[in-house]
Amino acid sequence: MSTPNRTLQSDILIIGFGKGGKTAAATLGRSGKRVVLVEQSERMYGGTCPNVGCVPTKGLVHRSQRRRPEDPAQDWYARSVQEVQQTREMMRRGNFDNLSSIETVTVITGRASFADPHTVTVVTGDEHLTVTADTILINTGSEPVVPDVPGLATSRYIRSSTDLIETATLPERLAIVGGGYLGIEFAAIYRRFGSQVTLFERTARILGREDDDVAAVATHILVDEGIHLVTAAQVTEVRDGDNGATIGYDKDGEQHTLEVDAILAAAGRAPATRDLNLAAAGVRTTAAGAVEVDEHLRTSQPHIFALGDVRGGPQFTYLSLDDSRVVLDQLTGEGLRSTADRIVPRTLFMTPPLATVGMTEREARKAGHRVKIAREAVAEIVAMPRAYAVEETRGVMKFVIDAATDRILGAAILSIDAQEIINTVALAMRHGVTAAELRDAVYTHPSSTEAFNEVLATIVRADEP
C-alpha cells in the first residue's frame, strides 16, 4: 500500500516551533500570509524554552529553593516535577492554540527535509506531504551533545536535562559531566532538592569566561551549598552496574572512581541540522553544523533564513525572539534591522543568580581600554536592604567602566534579582548612559537596582591596560 502524498503551497514555510518561528508565524499569518509551520514533535509546540528549557528548569529552581531541610526530599521533588509539567502542558497547548486559531496558519506535526530550495518533504504519522514556499525560515533549535567518553552514551544511567526534569524519582547520587551554564544550574537545583551532586569540569575552574574574582565568589557559593566540584578532571570511562554506574576519571595524573545513580551529560548543545538535507536546498553550514547566515539572518539562499540556536552563537530564547524581528523587518519592513552590535545579557540561574553583560575586566584590558572598576560584595552594600529583607546577602557586583568616557563596558551581577538588574545595565549600555548617570538615578526602595547608587560610587582603581 503506497503512502498518501499531498502538496501544500504557502507564502512562508517555517521549520520549527521555537520562539523565533512561532513569533514570525503569528505576525505573518495575521497579516494575511499563507503560513505553514512544521514541528517534529507535538511535545515541543512553543520550542525548547516552555517545554524542556527555561520554564520547567526555572520552576524547579524556585521549588528547590522553597524546600526546607525537614521536607522529605523525594516527595518534595516528585510534587515539584508534577507541578512544572502541568505548567509546561498549559503553555504547550496555549502556543498551539495561538497559532492554529489564525485562519491562514497551518501547523503540521512531522519531520521536514529539503527536496530543493523551495520544497520540503514532511513525513507525518500516516502520510508524506510536499510543502512549497516562496520564503522559508529554519528554526529547528539545538540538541544535546554527549561527550566522547567510553561507556557514557550507552550507559543505562545517562540522562539528558529533559530526562531529569521529566522523571519523578530524585537521584540520590548525581554526576554532571560539564561545568557550563547547564551543568552548574542543574547542580544547584538538584543539590537543593537533596541529591549528592558531583560536577566534573575539564578546565582548571568553572566559569572560565568570567574574571577570577567573580568566578571565585560563585565557586565559593556552590561549594558552600554542598556541591562537589572536580575541576581539571578528565572523565575517562563509565561502567554500568546493577544499581548504578561507576565513573572513572583522571585528576592530577591519578585515576579515581565515583559511584552514582544518574549521569547528566552537560557538554553543550549543537545546532539541529542533521536531518534537514540542507545540501538539497543549497544552504551552507559552518564547521560546527550551524546554518551559515549574514547579519540579516539570510542563508546562502536569499529566500531562506535561519533563526535561533540553529544558526550558531549564544543559545538564548530571547535572541531567537529578536531574530524574528530581524527577519520580519527583512520581509515586511525597511530591512534595516540586523544582528550586528547586539548587547546581550545572560543569566546563570544558580542561587543567587549570576548575570553578565558586555566585557569582563580581562577582555576590556585586552581590547586596549583604560578601565575603572567598581566592585562591592553584596553583604557590604548598605544601599541594598532588599538583600537583607529576603535573607540573601551572598554575591558580588562588578562594573567595568571605560576611564576616558565613563561608559559601561560590562558588568557581572551575582546577587538576588540579578536576572532583572542586568537588563537595566544592558539598556544603559545600548543607549550610552554613563556610569555616573546610572549611579545618580532615582530608584525605588527597597529594591536591588538602588545598589547602583552605592556600587558605582566605589571605584576600585583606574589604570592602563
All three cell numbers of 244: 548504578
Binding-site residues from annotation for NAD(+): 178-185, 201, 268
Round to whole Å and give the CA distance between 85 and 87: 5
pLDDT tens across the length of the chain (465 residues): 345 578 899 999 999 998 999 999 999 999 999 999 999 888 777 777 776 678 888 898 899 988 988 899 999 999 999 999 998 888 888 888 888 899 999 999 999 999 999 999 999 887 889 999 999 999 999 988 899 999 999 999 999 888 998 889 999 999 999 999 999 999 999 999 999 999 999 999 999 999 999 999 999 999 999 999 999 999 999 999 999 999 999 999 999 999 999 999 998 889 999 999 999 999 999 998 999 999 999 999 999 999 999 999 888 888 999 999 999 999 999 999 999 989 999 999 999 999 999 999 999 999 999 999 999 999 999 999 999 999 999 999 999 999 999 999 999 999 999 999 999 999 999 999 999 999 999 999 999 999 999 999 998 665 654
Rounded CA separation 5/394 (Å): 61
- Residue 269 pairs in a beta bridge with 144
In the Cβ-directed half-sphere of 368, how many Cα atoms lie within 13 Å? 0
DSSP state of 285: B
296 close to 335: Cβ distance less than 8 angstroms? yes
Q: How far is CA 464 from the centre of its chain?
A: 35
Q: What are the cell numbers at 254?
A: 591519578
C-alpha cell at 66: 522553597
- The pLDDT of residue 1: 39
Handedness of CA 191, 196, 199, 204 (dihedral sign): positive
Instruction: Tell me if 448 sits within 8 A of 413, measured CB to CB.
Output: no
Q: For 171, which DSSP code?
A: P
Q: Return the pLDDT at 460.
A: 66
* CATH code of the domain occupying 5-143+270-332: 3.50.50.60
Domain spans of the chain? 5-143+270-332, 158-267, 346-463
- The residue type of 219 is T
Q: Is 62 a catalytic residue?
A: no
Residue 99 CB coordination number (10 Å) = 22
From 228, 296, 369, 445, the catalytic residue: 445
Distance, in Å, from the CA atom of 52 to the CA atom of 189, rounded to the nearest integer, reads 15
Cα-based torsion angle of the residue sequence 143, 147, 148, 154 in order, rounded to the nearest 10 degrees: -80
Instruction: Please report the pLDDT score of residue 3 as a whole number.
Output: 52
DSSP helix/strand/coil, 149: coil
Find, among 149, 104, 146, 145, the residue nearest to 11 by Cα.
104
Q: Domain 346-463: give its CATH superfamily.
A: FAD/NAD-linked reductase, C-terminal dimerisation domain (3.30.390.30)
Give binding residues as ranges: 58, 140-142, 178-185, 201, 268, 309
Strands of 139-260 (E only): list them. 142-144, 158-159, 173-177, 196-200, 228-230, 233-240, 245-251, 254-260
User: Residue 84's closest CA among 110, 100, 61, 112?
Assistant: 61
Classify domain 158-267 by CATH number.
Answer: 3.50.50.60
Q: 158-267: same fold as 5-143+270-332? A: yes
Expressed in angstroms, the distance from the first to the final Cα of the chain is 73
